[in-house]
Amino acid sequence: MRTPLSALTPADRAQLKRRMRKPVLTFLVLLALLAVNVTLGATLPFAHVWAIELGVVALMAATILLVSMEVIEEPPLIRLFSGLGFFWVCIMVGMTLTDYLGR
Amino acid sequence: MSEGLAKGVGVARAHHFESVAQQREATTLGIWAWLITELLLFSALFLVALILRIQHPEATVAAARHLKFWIGAANTVVLICSSLTMSMAIEFSRMGWQRAMVRAMLATAALGTLFLVLKGYEYYADWDEHMMPFLSSRPFALEETPAARLFVNLYYVATMLHAVHLFTGIALLLGMTWMAAKAGFLARHQNWIEIYGLYWHFIDLVWILAFPILYVVNRGT
């Protein structure tokens, strides 16, 4: 078992910096998007602000899926599986809301 | 996988797989198949929340304004932090830095526990404000708007189901951390960390959807 945090070589530091760049950037992007949504939710600056809030949520979900869950780097079959899940959700939400909104 | 595995890190091939690459892809596909069923379960609950908003807008807004917005926001920050520590654990596992990986996994479990503690406090505050319509012994605070009962009940179903997933996730994570601390773990089971990471990020994703759909969107008229 190595003890990297207590005795890092320059090569270790470079590797650590390279490997942690993506998780840290993703973390900062998610916090920034959450800050936008919390600010909008707390201040309610205009009517129909919910549309922007849902757009921000979609961005956050896409960030987690594509970057944190690394779907973008997976083989095609796994990308297809994960995409199909959301496609089914779209069918369910779309058909249900078509009924309720069309009454 | 964003970058290769360090020397000495890998997966012991099970006899029914032709190669380690096939084994890795099969396990990832398996967890995704399960996550899709979970996605459909939670999506149906969120869809009901949207329908309630369409059918009973005033009651839904009245109920949503009783939710603890700032605790929900703080809990979202906690889960985003836990996603960072889980991603760090995955990267440490790929680098072969076992001790750092174990610490990152423990930090993830600690943040998950903090989420549950905050959620418990939120439920207590709801109980104190008579916002538990399913309790016959305590009159519901929004008794004059009966449809609010529907939204509040849905809120409890969705958040408790999420909490059960999180509790299970913490228990699994602690068990896996115990195994992952043993010598030779990363040489044989490195992909367990990646597979588990998908589950943890999914729990995070569900809350990322639940917080705005339950707490934020319904605050505005």
B83 domain residue, yes or no:
yes
Residue A5's pLDDT band (cuts 50, 70, 90): low
pLDDT digits (tens, 9 = 90+) for A52-79: 999 999 999 999 999 999 999 999 999 9
Is B216 an 8 Å CB contact of chain A? yes
Enclosing domain of residue B150: 20-219
The C-alpha atoms of residue A96 and residue B108 are separated, in whole angstroms, by 37
pLDDT higher than 60, residue B141: yes
Domain boundaries, chain A: 1-69, 75-103
Mutation to test the A interface, candidates B217, B218, B221, most A Cβ within 10 Å: B217
pLDDT higher than 70, residue B154: yes
Residues 6+ apart with CB under 8 A from B157: B45
Mean pLDDT of chain B: 94
Strand partners, B189: B11
Neighbours of B66 (CB within 10 A): 18
State the Rg of chain B over Cα.
Answer: 21
The C-alpha atoms of residue B168 and residue B113 are separated, in whole angstroms, by 11
pLDDT higher than 60, residue A2: no
Residue type, B61: V
- Number of domains within chain B: 1
As for the ipTM of the complex, it is 0.92
Q: Would you call A34 and B76 a contact, using CB atoms and an 8 Å cutoff?
A: yes
pTM score of the predicted model: 0.93
Q: Extract the tokens encoding B22.
A: 């096939």
Q: Would you call B29 and A81 a contact, using CB atoms and an 8 Å cutoff?
A: yes
Q: What does the pLDDT read at residue A101?
A: 86
Dihedral sign computed on CA atoms, order B184, B30, B110, A68: positive
Q: Would you call B212 and A69 a contact, using CB atoms and an 8 Å cutoff?
A: no
Dihedral sign computed on CA atoms, order B203, B207, B213, B214: positive
B10 domain residue, yes or no:
no
Q: What does the pLDDT read at residue B12?
A: 86
pLDDT higher than 80, residue B2: no
Q: What does the pLDDT read at residue B3?
A: 64
pLDDT higher than 80, residue A34: yes
pLDDT digits (tens, 9 = 90+) for B81-135: 999 999 999 999 999 999 999 999 999 999 999 999 999 999 999 999 999 999 9
Residues 6+ apart with CB under 8 A from B210: B42, B46, B158, B159, B162
Residue B8's pLDDT band (cuts 50, 70, 90): confident
For the domain that residue B208 is a member of, what is the CATH number?
1.20.120.80
Residues 6+ apart with CB under 8 A from B52: B59, B60, B147, B150, B151, B154
pLDDT higher than 90, residue B144: no
The C-alpha atoms of residue A68 and residue A61 are separated, in whole angstroms, by 10
What separation in angstroms does the CA of B98 have from each of B86, B186, B197, B199, B203? 14, 7, 16, 20, 24
Residue A8 to chain B, least CA–CA distance (Å): 11
Residues 6+ apart with CB under 8 A from B211: B72, B73, B75, B76
Q: What does the pLDDT read at residue B122?
A: 97
What are the chain A neighbours of B100 within 8 Å (beta carbons)?
A: 4-5
pLDDT digits (tens, 9 = 90+) for B21-62: 999 999 999 999 999 999 999 999 999 999 999 999 999 999
**CA geometry: angle at A81 spanning B202 and B176, to 5°?**
40
B6 domain residue, yes or no:
no
Q: What does the pLDDT read at residue B6?
A: 83
Residue B9's pLDDT band (cuts 50, 70, 90): confident
